[in-house]
Amino acid sequence: MNSRPAGSARDYSIMNPSVATAPRYDADARRFVLRQALSDVLPVQCLLTGAEETTPFECDGLSAFRQVPFAVALPETEAQVRDVLRACHDLKIPVVARGAGTGLSGGAMPHADGLVLSLAKLNRILELDPVACTARVEPGVRNLAVSEAAAPHGLYYAPDPSSQIACSIGGNVAENSGGVHCLKYGLTVHNVLGLRGYTIDGEAVTLGGAALDAPGLDLLALAIGSEGLLLVVTEVTLKLIPKPKIAQVVMASFDDVVKAGDAVAAIVAAGIIPAGLEMMDRKATAAVEPFVRAGYDLNAEAILLAESDGTLEEVADEIAEIERVLRAAGSTQCIVSQSEAERLKFWSGRKNAFPAAGRISPDYYCMDGTIPRKHLGRMLRAIEEMEKKYTLRCMNVFHAGDGNLHPLILFDAHEPGEWERADRFGADILELCVALGGTITGEHGVGVEKLGSMCVQFAPAEREAFFAIKRAFDADGLLNPGKAIPTLARCAEYGRMHVHAGALPFADLPRF
């Protein structure tokens, strides 16, 4: 166990009531005490308290939700992270960990009375072992930087979120992020071997490691995707894998979205797990094509991108098989990339779908539900109906292979009522995801955004189990409070707002 540094021996007991019962201190007094406590453990340049310095941290990638924090700490060492946590624990100050702030569910949105703990300065790759095929990195390392460092050894880190130039490994771990290749290579949880982190009381915990398993409960799996509610991650051991010799992609057009959805299921049913299997509808291709000139068929109702990677022989066989299945499923046109440049060109449109949405609409709202593959067509039809109901447009890009949907609802935040309509549109999509046997979030997390939808997916019994897990790690509820798990009161409120035929849908699913 770590011993306490002498510098933090100050007695804060007078300022140490439990959060629930704390009288609201005068903001200035709180700021003063916190600044005192943190200046004991952080160099002066690592603590931001003025509004002009803290405002840039007011939101993450979901800018509809904003909150200026009380203060921002930017520790430079793991020991400083520990000491900051201890000080906040003693003072009962909420802490919101933050990586690169690219999250899309408001997970890193600050707490009004809390500290933002940015891990951005912990950005070193500590060790890269090309024999063991592992990398040990600090949490602030960018996702792409890992693959760049591994490239000279013919290795890479498989999870590749579209935000990979910017997003941090710590954020990836907290969200269990995926990418376009996770159908074959898995999500973050499948590619992290171990991590070290600190619970809110400043206690170090090591979960997993360089071995393939560890005794006891799988706390590593529990920590991954825990949205900064259980611990602050300070070091991660990643699995690296050899770069495939070659990759090729088939671009297939369909004159009907349901046919395209069925083609996805047909590929999987044929025993093929493509390296990537993505779908874009006509609205999405129309938005990206003028912007990136990827060569998309603008007459198609939907296009699929199916990638194969591996050895030359494998890819040749698999591409032929994919093409055969796609044609049998009714594809009107199949083009196979003939060079690496062409492959990247086909992908460029998919990878730029979000920015393209931003070009054709003042604002867009990205959803993230997952459904069984067989319902893809049905979901697209339902979204068309919702477009009429809410008089908003929605373009669809799907990680179709895993049934993960990213409908992008286009709106203008300056038009009165549009954000509210977009919000309800999104909630409707997520409710349908649950009704079709899926989930409200495949990779972006719940954050603050999907608290209401959590009430639809989970009964009180499960939500209570989530709180039980939270209590086991953080009894005072100081790490990222108010995120990821809705309270009963919150669900009651959501129920009143989204009443369907007099009842919250699915709330009354038989429990026994």
Partner 1 sequence: MMEAALADLRDRIVAANAAKTPLRLRGGGSKDFHAEALIGDELDTCAHRGIVDYEPSELVVTARCGTPLAEIEDTLAQHGQFLPFEPPAFGEATTIGGAVAAGLSGPRRASAGAARDFVLGAHLVDANGELKRFGGQVMKNVAGFDASRLLCGSLGVLGLIAQVSLKVLPRPYDEITLRFDCDVKAALALFHRWRAQPLPVSATSWHDGVAAVRLSGSPSALRAARAVLGGSVLDTTQAPTWWLGLRNQTHDFFRRGDKPLWRLSIPATAPIGAFADGLIEWSGALRWLHSAAPAGEIRAIAEKLGGTAMLWRGACATTRFHPLAPANLELHRRLKREFDPNGIFNRGRLHPEL
Ligand X SMILES: Cc1cc2nc3c(=O)[nH]c(=O)nc-3n(C[C@H](O)[C@H](O)[C@H](O)COP(=O)(O)OP(=O)(O)OC[C@H]3O[C@@H](n4cnc5c(N)ncnc54)[C@H](O)[C@@H]3O)c2cc1C
Hey, which residues between 234 and 253 contact partner 1 (CB under 8 A)? 242-245
When the beta carbons of 42 and 232 are compared against partner 1, the nearer one is: 232
Q: CB-wise, 171 or 349, nearer to ligand X?
A: 171
* Rounded Cα gap, residues 279 and 297, in angstroms: 13
Candidate list 166, 205, 360, 507; residue touching partner 1; CB under 8 A: 205
Closest CA to 248 of 347, 340, 351, 151: 340
Q: Residue 25 and residue 7: Cα distance in Å, rounded?
A: 25
Q: Does 81 bind partner 1 (CB under 8 A)?
A: no
Task: Indicate which of ligand X, partner 1, none lies near residue 66 (CB less than 5 to 8 Å, by partner kind).
Answer: none
- By CB under 8 A, is residue 203 in contact with partner 1? yes
What secondary structure letter does DSSP report for 375? Answer: G
287 binds ligand X (CB under 6 A): no
Q: Do 339 and 347 touch, CB atoms closer than 8 A? A: no
Three-state DSSP class for residue 97: strand
Q: Report the 10 Å Cβ neighbour count for 463.
A: 19
What are the φ and ψ backbone dihedral angles of 387, each rounded to 5 degrees?
Answer: -60, -40
Among 295, 439, 490, 498, binds partner 1 (CB under 8 A): 439
Site string for ligand X, 220-259 (x = CB under 6 A): -------xx---xx--------------------------
Q: At what angle do helices 353-360 and 282-292 cross, to 10 degrees?
A: 90
Q: Does 126 bind partner 1 (CB under 8 A)?
A: no
Chosen from ligand X, partner 1, none, partner binding at 123 (C-beta under 5 to 8 Å by type):
none
CA distance 68 to 31: 14
Among 162, 168, 457, 480, binds partner 1 (CB under 8 A): 457
Q: Is 354 in the site for ligand X (CB under 6 A)?
A: yes
Q: What is the largest CA-CA distance in the chain?
A: 74
CA 73 – CA 151 distance, rounded (Å): 33
Site for ligand X in 80-119 (CB under 6 A): 96-104, 107-108, 119
Give me 184's structure tokens: 């074959």
422 vs 477: CA distance, rounded Å: 31
User: How many residues interact with partner 1 (rule CB under 8 A)?
Assistant: 101
> Taking CB under 8 A as the rule, does residue 269 contact partner 1?
yes
Q: According to CB under 6 A, which one of 94, 170, 225, 261 is a site residue for ligand X?
A: 170
Given the DSSP bridges, would you call strands 115-118 and 71-73 parallel, antiparallel or unpaired?
parallel
How large is the C-alpha radius of gyration of the chain? 24
Q: How far is the CB of 470 from partner 1 (least distance, A)?
A: 8
Residue from 160, 281, 402, 449 binding partner 1 (CB under 8 A) = 402
> Minimum Å distance from CB 478 to ligand X?
13
- 328 touches partner 1 (CB under 8 A): no
Query: x-or-dash pattern for partner 1, window 343-382, by CB under 8 A?
Result: ---------------------------xxxxx--------
Distance between CA 340 and CA 276 in Å, rounded? 15
- Tell me how far, at minimum, the Cβ of 215 lies from partner 1, in Å: 4
Does position 104 interact with partner 1 (CB under 8 A)? The reply is: no
Query: What distance in Å separates the CA atoms of residue 212 and residue 235, rounded to the nearest whole number?
Result: 17
Residue for token pair 């629930």: 20
CA distance 107 to 449: 8
- Closest-approach residue to ligand X (CB): 171
Distance CA 47, CA 54 (A): 10
Binding site for ligand X (CB under 6 A): 60-61, 96-104, 107-108, 119, 139, 161-163, 167-168, 170-172, 174-175, 177-179, 227-228, 232-233, 354, 443-444, 480
